[in-house]
Structure 1
């Protein structure tokens, strides 16, 4: 998709532009803490690149860093106030400046991946956290691809779904209509798995279109109580007891924890899987507490899936930069099916050139 572009904050004649428009937060809280401001354009380090942002993804990771909840995130993001004042991680943008040690990317290249502060006209990213964006994806689609799709990809890898010499088997995906879950359904089906998706009934057709063989409406039916045994369970919803999850696994099945939005204000439920890990240490069933890493090779694998296998992010909604508050409120509404993007208009040229 061709994107309309406009310049960043214009400098006086003969001077280089040094300012950009960005979403800023000075404290933790709900979407109302966000505001638009004019700030200095960041400078990339030796192993980083500066991106002119085309679009940014709106994700639960951004929500947690905005609210500072669970409190566990403040250990990394700042105890009293956010250290990173510009939110945003998922990104699609054009490389406008290379760090001195970056050799595998070129100026002008459209890339996708993870950046710091992508809710802005310009953002800095580690050169190993971005990869060339596939032409098959629009800017908005590429912008919501990395964070959730990497989680789904690495979860399926950790569970061995579709690994060489293994049958894909039966896969149960809890939270199948969310960002991670929707990618997991699509990728697991692509690997030949028989996918059972768990979501609200109103989103059943959405996940069927992604490749789910069977859909269970958790508001009507307990997805773990019908006697079906699964080779892999991806728990992206949380709230289920370990005994219930193990009861729905085959004797050598694998349970992968990929997220939990149902915990308390301190750990957000992320303390529970560490207990699970201890309790399952000597069981024939396997437990994986997934730690997602942003790697260039995995981003390139996702790009190949988009080019050759038709994998596409499903966009629930797209908002302009000045509607970041509305975008995050929509994310928290529970009505989303797929991903939300911020479409950002900026300058493709290096602002210091």
Structure 2
């Protein structure tokens, strides 16, 4: 619902950007690898009536940036990301910065506000965003820290709270616990009162333990699907185990939540096929098999900010890159080696 200001309300202060202003941005014309990304001087985006223009201070990097860059799986192209090439030519989605100006219908934010959330084209000096995808940046966080939160943090929160219906006292298994979503999921599950077991490679066992996991399993040493351990809730970000294997990790009425996952075919992706199979099978078994497609929402950003302010979530940053090295950041992300989030600084 729109909430326009009354005639007597003071006008929203803005700091307009000249119409001819330009900015540095990481752009892409055709789907492909990171070699196709380039730094260019382009026009500052126009602000719609429901949007804000953000002066970007930092931009988070996540696996969605790689998918949009490559246009894979191809299903994404049919979902509106652009058929022959990316519809949005500036890369990046997770942002933290300062509001520069606001659209005519915006009352939630004002010029000078520090915000974080999701936007169009975060790998740039300026970006536009919808107000429902932004929240006030926690005062105790740097812009780099705030930029690491939106997509990964919201996905983890929605997977556990909304889709998984987590409750205190449950035994929760998080597969892919050292990834961007996984590190948030471990901490959110602990904050909600669960006993948490994280699964990761041996090189990152210490990292997962450091964010609060009660138990950590090195998947190169232990096959979780044959260990005999059973969990009330399983979050799988790995994507390389079959449904039958994952169901062996569940209690008889446990819940499996599938979150993304890499690999599989180029057409719709192996992880999506498995997720759709899980949803189709769920009505016919006692266990609950679900999938989640995370989205960044203002109310969830605020919930994450509250958990951070209370000390229940700590942010793990592997490293930051300057804007002109954004391609290197995406390459590093895709290796699977980062120990925490990657962030672009502007």
TM-score normalised per structure 1: 0.90
Runs (4 or more) in structure 1 with deviation over 6 Å come to none
Instruction: Name the counterpart of 1:45.
Output: 48
**Mapping for residues 171-190 of structure 1, pairs under 5 Å:** 171-190=172-191
Instruction: Name the counterpart of 1:229.
Output: 230
Cα pair 2:187 2:312 within 8 Å, conserved: no
**Mapping for residues 38-187 of structure 1, pairs under 5 Å:** 38-75=41-78, 76-157=80-161, 158-162=163-167, 167-187=168-188
Instruction: Name the counterpart of 1:210.
Output: 211
Structure 1 residue 159, shift from structure 2 partner: 1.1
Separation in structure 2 between the aligned mates of residue 46 and residue 312 of structure 1, nearest angstrom: 35
Instruction: Name the counterpart of 1:338.
Output: 340
SS in 1 for 2:283: coil
Deviations 1:254-295 (A, max 9, x none): 000111102221112212211111112132211121132322
Deviations 1:15-67 (A, max 9, x none): 76510000011111111000000000001111110000000011100000001
Separation in structure 2 between the aligned mates of residue 43 and residue 305 of structure 1, nearest angstrom: 34
Structure 1 residue 220, shift from structure 2 partner: 2.0
Separation in structure 2 between the aligned mates of residue 327 and residue 293 of structure 1, nearest angstrom: 22
SS in 1 for 2:141: coil
Q: Which has the higher contact order (CA 8 A, sep 6+)?
A: 1
Separation in structure 2 between the aligned mates of residue 251 and residue 186 of structure 1, nearest angstrom: 26
Separation in structure 1 between the aligned mates of residue 312 and residue 232 of structure 2, nearest angstrom: 26
Deviations 1:133-170 (A, max 9, x none): 001211111001000000000011121213xxxx3311
SS in 2 for 1:303: helix
Cα pair 2:72 2:266 within 8 Å, conserved: yes
Instruction: Name the counterpart of 2:29.
Output: 26
2:297 to 290, 295, 298: 295
Instruction: Name the counterpart of 1:7.
Output: none
Instruction: Name the counterpart of 1:3.
Output: none
Separation in structure 1 between the aligned mates of residue 294 and residue 336 of structure 2, nearest angstrom: 24
Instruction: Name the counterpart of 2:284.
Output: 282
State the number of aligned residues: 327
Separation in structure 2 between the aligned mates of residue 168 and residue 30 of structure 1, nearest angstrom: 44
Separation in structure 1 between the aligned mates of residue 148 and residue 117 of structure 2, nearest angstrom: 9
TM-score normalised per structure 2: 0.92
Cα pair 2:61 2:92 within 8 Å, conserved: yes
Separation in structure 2 between the aligned mates of residue 246 and residue 150 of structure 1, nearest angstrom: 25
SS in 2 for 1:112: strand
Structure 1 regions of 5+ residues with no counterpart?
A: 1-10, 345-353
Cα pair 1:231 1:249 within 8 Å, conserved: yes
Deviations 1:199-254 (A, max 9, x none): 10000000001111111111222122110100000011111111111111011110
SS in 1 for 2:197: strand
Cα pair 1:141 1:312 within 8 Å, conserved: no
